[in-house]
Each structure stands twice: as structure tokens, then as C-alpha cells.
Amino acid sequence: MTSEVSRRGMLGLGVGATLAIPAMTRAQRPLPPHREQDSVGVAVVGLGKLSEGQILPALKRTKGVHLAALVSGVPEKAKKWATEFGLPDSAIYSYQNFDTIARDPKVQIVYIVLPNAMHADFTVRSFKAGKHVLCEKPMAVTLAEGERMIAAGKAAQKHLMIAYRCLFEPVNVSAMQMMRKGVVGAPRLIKTVMGKQTSLSDPSDAWRLDMAMSGGGALADMGIYGINATRYLLGEEPTEVRAWARTDRNDPRFKTVEDMVAWQMKFPSGAIGEGSSCFSQPGTMAWQAIGTERRLVADPGCFYNGNAVRIVGGKDDDQPRVAEIDHFGNEMNWFADVVRGRAPNVAPGEEGLQDMRIIHAILQSVRDGGATVKTGFGYKRAYDPATVVGIRTAI
């Protein structure tokens, strides 16, 4: 792979660079004031928009995890970031020599930030190299790939976590907790709307508009947020889905993927989940939870920052007051704690596979003209994020 492929193309975040001391070797350099003594080293694979705009800036402020290596198809870009972080040239890897990372003891975690079709290959290679893996979502393109990733992690006895950042983000964690406490009454309906405008001229959009690379267009890229949110807000798994699509095949963006997909999910409690994803609308990542007594409304609810949740039908002094936090820093710190045995893995490969199964069921229903597709896959979360993830106010 000779050119870099962008992973995300939304909001950016700039943070000041960490200081390096050129006169000292890397081993001799004192730890930055913010870093814990047993901070875990991470290699970031892929230097696209998400890595450059969110992940690398977050790694300048994290306490439990730090940047130890970079993997890129663009040497100049990797060199720039290595210099900024004070990393030696030996900490830069290409996609071709990636497997030699097995000999790098400074790297304990590999964070895969590549197009979806590349996730499975690099996850398996990372496990073979003896590393733990944090992988962007959706975890893969096919169910077989997802299952192969999980099996590889178990064989290597290493952790696999899927990067569901909202499971560690205060607005969504507080909403889960309110749902469990019955703030809305008995849950009746969860509505999610996820979408943005795309352009084939933007490399970060182009691969998402390719079914072979993305595995599902807007549904896989944006809809997965709504599917996951519906599940974690209700604390249940759907038993069946129905779905429909509206796509203009004359639009060059939608030759292989659907544009707008809308779906309904039925849950054991009787609650209904309604969601939509779209690649031809203004940027939207919103949800609301409607119960017998009140509503929770988050608009936006899943952006990189600026999210907020309010109770409709509640008193002013009942409104949640949640501080802003760096989603990616908190997520990476959590996984570092998982690796060190200090925290449970609330987003293992099985969690990613569950969403993939639902995505595939939705696409099956679309192909069958909105027919009901059963989704009783037998999955049950090992840990409820509402219970085990605290609401942190800083990285």
C-alpha cells in the first residue's frame, strides 16, 4: 500500500505537542508529568483523518497509554509525527514490514485505524506479533472475518477491543445510567438518526462508498452508532429487524452501497428501536429515548465533542450536567487498564460481531423488501457499561 487512506473525516482537535529532550536517549528521558509509570505503549496503524485529528492529539494527554510506534504507507507523514512525539526512526513501520513489530517490546497495543476491509488482516497479524488489539468499528466487512479476529485473539491470549468510544463518553454513560434508573419510565421507543454528506473527491469518503472496502456504506459507517446506542440504552438485544432503503443509483456515489437505510428493531421488553443512516444529508448524530413518563434527547449525541443530553418532561434541577471529555483518550486509557488487568473489556470482539450480525440482517431485510429477519443470536454482554464505566471528567 503506497498511499495513506483516511479513516475518519469529521471534527478535529488540536493539542500542544509533548516536549522532547534531544540530549538524552529515549530510555533516559524522564516520563512526561501526565504519564503513569506503567503506561502502555501503542502503535497507531494508519495516519488518516481520524488518527491525525483525534487519536494522535489525544495521545499527548493520556496517562495510561502513550505513542510508541507509527505504521503508515506515507513515510513523510509518519516521520513528521514521530518527530513531534520524539520517537526514533526505528519506531516507524510500513505496511509491508509491519510484522517485525513483534520484536518491539515498547509496543503492547496496536490500534488499527484503517479502512474496514483491512481490519481483519492487520488484527490477525498483530496477534501473531504478540500484541493486544484496539480496532476501529465496524470490526470487519464479513462475519467470517470478525469470527477470525476473535479466534486469533483467543489463540494468542491477547485482548481485542472494538473502538466503541461512546461506551466511555460521559453523555452516553450518564444516559445509560438514567435509563437503568427508570428516569424515562418504561422504555417504549429509541430513535436514532446518523448521517452526513459525502463526496467521492474526498479520499476519506471514497472508500466508504465502496461496498468491498466498507462493508455497508452509511449503514456500516454511521448506522452502527445508532444500532449500538439502541442496544446500550435499552440494555437488551433485538429479536428481529425490518429495514428499507432509498438510493438514487444515478448518483455516482451510490453505485455499490445503499444511501439511506431505515430500520426497526424489536426487543424482548416490547421496546422498539427505529434508526436511519444516510450519506446524503447534513451531519447528524442524534438519538432520543422515549419512555412512558419522559424522554432523553441527545442532539448531538455521538459527535467527537459538543454532545449533550437533556430530560424532556423533567424539572430544571433534574437535568444532567456532564463535563466534556476527550473520547479517544478516555477510550485508550480504558483499554490500557484492560491490558494491565485493572478494568473489564466492555467492548470485546463479540460486541463488534453482534453489531455486524445486525447490520447484515438489516441489509438482508432491505434485499427482501422489508421482510422481518430474526436476530436472536444468543449474544449477551459480559459487562454493562452503565454499571462498570464511571463518568470521568478528564483524561
Active site positions, annotated = 137, 225
- The residue written with cell numbers 454493562 in the block is 384
How far apart are the C-alpha atoms of 283 and 304, rounded to whole Å?
12
How far apart are the C-alpha atoms of 147 and 352, rounded to whole Å?
10
DSSP label of 365: H
How far apart are the C-alpha atoms of 345 and 334, rounded to whole Å?
8
Our separate counts of H helices and E strands in the chain read: 13, 14
Helix (H) or strand (E) holding 71: strand 65-71
Is 198:242 a contact under the CB 8 Å cutoff?
A: no
Cell numbers that stand for 181 in this block: 434508573
Cell numbers that stand for 24 in this block: 538524552
With helix as H, strand as E and coil as C, how does 257-310 read? CCCEEEEEEECCCCCEEEEEEECEEEEEEEEEEEECCCEEEECCCCCCCCCCCE
DSSP label of 157: T
Is 113:126 a contact under the CB 8 Å cutoff?
A: no
